[in-house]
Amino acid sequence: MSVSIKASTGNPFARVLSVASYVPSRVIDNAEMCTYIDSSDEWIQQRTGIAERRWVGEEETVESMALAAAQRAVERAGIEGSELGAVIVSTVTYFHQTPSLAAKLAHQLGTNGAAFDISAACAGFCYGLGQAESLVRSGAARYVLVVGVEELSRFTDIHDRTTAFLFADGAGAAVVGPSEINGIGPVVWGSDGGQSQAISQTTEWSEAVANGQTPYLAMDGRSVFKWASGFITDATKQVLDAAGLTPDDLDVFIPHQANNRITDAILRHLKLPERVVVARTIKQFGNNSAASVPMAMDQLLTTGKAKSGQTALLIGFGAGLVYAGQIVTLP
Ligand code: UT7
């Protein structure tokens, strides 16, 4: 039977209302890192820009970090947790296959709204933001919480010199809601599953457990580096084009904190004006995957390096391989 199905009615525009982060307590400097791997402070700083990274302390978990960042973001947005119509968590280090961390988090925040986890690694926060913007504009949810959280220290072989110095822990969260003027540009996103082996779990959980082991992340750093400093620089240009902007319109650039040399390669390609503030939180926080973009955004805002109302370009990229980016007005 042909019927007339009512379409959802939403909001003309969406924006990021708030951002917040949680920084884990354990500081692992390069000197300590070099007790686990054959490396040097000089090599790590020159090749990546990392001076130290944060790992969870005994009391900290993926859940506790996500909750702390989320509570701050909800408070800063000036809404109640019960008003969240959807909670999206991006993580690859929540080791419960089911239920989702998002459903638990939603309950802890006092909402029965939609809740789901996404697996998009270091692009996860930007994937979540793209979905949040669509949900708010479609009317499927009025307020959406997006969380990027990782405990990569638990998913990394600390004696593997190809990954141990890079990966770190942390959480970042943002609330997206309706707006009179547009505050989030079109998401530019995609994947290249042909390169799925470039960053991947060493073995399946069941196989690892049967052998009394823990699976870890393995990475072909050179391939990822090549892809990120080539293809991703083009994707970054597409993010600007999609929003109808040019590099001159930007105030802030927040790339996934993968490696300062990748950030430099993107900068060379984009030819950003000197005045544009560039996130370099990798120096203190390392590469914490889905948490890196919102943590960097929060750090720039709380230290006064970036200001509310400024225009920022976000780009995330990583295991999949996947990527996503968009322009946002900073909360
Ligand atoms: O966040 C998800 C996405 N991930 C990324 O974007 C990571 C992208 N990849 C990278 O950031 C870089 O590839 C790494 C930082 C992981 C590695 O840097 P690289 O410049 O690509 O190093 P490489 O693997 O090409 O190795 C260069 C040299 C080698 O020595 P030789 O062959 O030139 O003598 C390695 O043996 O550095 C040596 N090396 C190290 N030396 C000290 C490799 N790892 C280390 C180490 N300490 N930890």
Domain ranges of the chain: 13-179, 188-329
Closest ligand 1 atom number to CA of residue 259? 11
Q: What are phi and psi of 53, to 5 degrees?
A: -140, 165
Count of residues in the chain: 331
User: What are the tens digits of pLDDT across the range 265-323?
Assistant: 999 999 999 999 999 999 999 999 999 999 999 999 999 999 999 999 999 999 999 99
Distances (CA, A) of 298 to 37, 195, 279: 31, 31, 10
Q: Is 155 in the pocket of ligand 1 (CB under 6 A)?
A: no
Cα–Cα distance, 127 to 290 (Å, whole number)? 10
| Residues near 46 by beta carbon (within 8 Å), at least 6 away in sequence | none
Q: Is 37 in the pocket of ligand 1 (CB under 6 A)?
A: yes
Token digits for 102? 């998002």
Q: Is 287 in the pocket of ligand 1 (CB under 6 A)?
A: yes
| Residues near 327 by beta carbon (within 8 Å), at least 6 away in sequence | 184, 185, 239, 240, 242, 243, 245, 250, 311, 312, 313, 314
Give 201: exposed, middle or buried? Use CB within 10 Å, 0-12, 13-18, 19+.
middle
Residues noted as catalytic: 122, 256, 287
Q: How confident is the model at residue 140 (pLDDT cuts 50, 70, 90)?
A: very high
The residue whose two tokens read 């072989």 is 157
What pLDDT does 1 receive?
85
pTM of the predicted model, to two decimals? 0.97
Query: For the domain 13-179, what is the CATH code?
Result: 3.40.47.10
Q: What percent of the chain has pLDDT over 90?
A: 96
Is the CATH number 3.40.47.10 carried by domain 188-329?
A: yes
